Structure 1
Amino acid sequence: MHRTAKRPASVEAHRDKVRVLLAPLAARVDTVPLRAALGRGLAADLVAPMDLPPFANSQMDGFAVRSADVPDGGAELRVAAAVPAGAEPARLAPGTAAPIMTGAMIPAGADAVVPIEQAVPDSFPEPGATATVRLPAAPAGAFVRSVGSDISAGATALAAGTFLGPGQLGLLAALGLTEVPVHAVPRVLLVTTGDEVVEPGIPLAPGKIYDANGTLLDSALRQAGLAVTRTGISADDPGDLARLLRRHAPEVDLIVTTGGVSKGAYEVVRQALAGHDVDFGAVAMQPGGPQGIGTFDGVPVLGFPGNPVSCLVSFEMFLRPVLAELFGSPSPRPAVRARLAEALSSPEAKHQVRRGTLGTDGTVRLEGGPGSHLVHALAQSNVLVQVPVGTAELASGDEVEVWML
């Protein structure tokens, strides 16, 4: 049965509860083709099956030489057969220099490359022509990419939990891998509630508002890589909501609701989840104080507040960072330090999350006030400004942490 917390929990404590609730979902693993892994989280350490590069190669266009043949002061060498990329060259004879292309294999016997710009003449001779070239001194290893200088066979290429972006997938392709183990995509049921809420496009009757939360959270969840099922708006009938949840629960890994979690007289989510293992209580955070967490028929449930900014801040403060930690996806929000363009006030006993715009000069301008209904201000923002517990006033120019959106 649901319980009501008596004292507000800290942001960190509530996030820990979300982490514990969702941790079992991280055990589900899919093996997918490399191209299908973009934006997913790596589910296991991947070890390099080979060296990168797999052979010593040239860092640039130039001449492959024996360093002993070009001592201080340089030397004039006979031009050997050219080494194109992708070919296995013949051994380099003493006293010769082989034209070599960027990425081409270093011939056996050679241990350095002289860039073409340093050669006299500074161009390659025609193929098959008999020619000499004067080259400056070249120490051993100059402009040579050695075997395994990027990564050695047997080393960890990527650690479990890594977010797989283009760079990571490029590395796996370079290692010859075609499949990758990733965390299974969590399936989320998203339910918005409220008799006063209607779908966009329907004429508004008195006392009605359009549903922003459905689009707001659906977009956030899908952007975070989750598979979302939406049921439309659930009216304030606890029985109907309970039946809706029971119908969809076997098909999903997580239920997210918005609205109906406060202490009002018609809190439909609290009523529908009566008799289930769900806690409803306050977190010392503004906006987003009222929160619900627990399980419904064994399925994890997160109950977010009904005001649009509150529900998105709840997602960003609790669900998104836990998903990044447990599943490697989405990538964490970058946290940077910025200076306030104006003063602000905050409830000293709460962690306040303000919306703002970070400029190129490193200052952050607040967008709107602390109100949880200011959707326009949210839409203008590119950061969340973090004002920790214990802070009542900050002056213009004071430093704060901001999370990039």
Structure 2
Amino acid sequence: MSDRGQSVRAVAARVLQSVENGQSLTQCLPPALNEVADNERPQLQALCYGTCRWFHRLDAELQARLKKPLRKPDRVVHHLMLVALFQLRLSQQANYAVLNETVEACRALDKPHLTGLVNGVLRAAEREGEPACPDDSARFSHPHWMVEKLRHNWPQDWQALLDANNAQAPMTLRVNARRFSRNEYLQQLTDAGIEATATRFAPLGIQLASPVAVDRLPWFADGAVSVQDEAAQLCTTLMDLAPGQRVLDACAAPGGKTCAILESCSGLEEVVAIDESADRLPRVQENLDRLELVATLVQADAADIDQWWDRQPFDRILLDVPCSATGVIRRHPDIKLLRRESDVVPLASIQLGLLKAMWQVLAPGGRLVYATCSVFPQENHRIIRRFLTQQEHAVLREPDVPWGRDMETGRQLLPDPESHDGFFYAVLEKPEP
């Protein structure tokens, strides 16, 4: 392969090192894509996502093959060898190409003194084959703490959950009902040679048989559809939206749910979308512009209501709180490297604080939908239970829906390899005085 192929591996190694240092793939991959040729971008993305997905299995093997850890200045070569192991174990790349080009990529990383080590480790890996996994962390390729927490929280489902996290997530669309019915858009896809089926639970959802670039989707640029997982689409089915309502989408970026709210009900008085991140709010506006929708965007900490609230209450609130994101690991495998067990308690405190704050801005007779993309009860039904013990006037509504598991204070969807992500929803109402 040309120097370009070697540079793709070197760039992937640097991306993985950035993830290890606390950056998400969403943050560090886009600039890295600009370092390689256009036709190499899919390969770079596949290497980064695939190595993150199987990191714990690959890392267990690599550590067993190294006599001692590499020095910190050489840590990028550790990641380079993980990329190579991913290709040896889980890709269709020819072994000889992986070995030769990884050694050259080592030179491209200015580590020529380690080419002998890289060559020796990878040739042994090729010759000896993949070893048996030493524990469940390596077997399921998740951090040990996450395996144990899922085993404890979901004793009947933990293995299926871990397997689902390692599966490739399907590409799912939300049809803009202002432009097409779902059946009409399914026909558009058929005419374009794109195989797709209606989602089981989301009334406007379509799941593609295979992912495609959005520019292949009929009328995408004109706002006909958006890319959104089926579980995330369900929020609008719980909000009981009606014309004339003032609606708040707290923690709104990147704006998929804000747009879904506006699409699903015309005649809303106002939709306010809040997010703390100045970097992410422009993405919300981009989505609104493509769909020709209008919302009031506010950069603020939603919990600090004195900072942003105009004292006009909201009839409906969607509170999609910051969480561990353990229900969307299959879409964001770097979560397995970024999340720590110590994150969960502080997140639960933030979630409860946001819920209390949003309750203050909810109108009497109003409805609040609490949502997470987590599968940890600590962030989900236990938060609602804690809130209900502190807010005696809050009314819990059990949604009459055919999906999810009844957790007594909400509905839990576990990630399904064939369809939706993992999500939790609860519905709370504030009584009239």
Question: Normalization by structure 2: what TM-score?
Answer: 0.21
Whose radius of gyration is greater, 1 or 2?
1
Higher RCO (C-alpha under 8 Å, 6+ residues apart): 1
More strand by share: 1
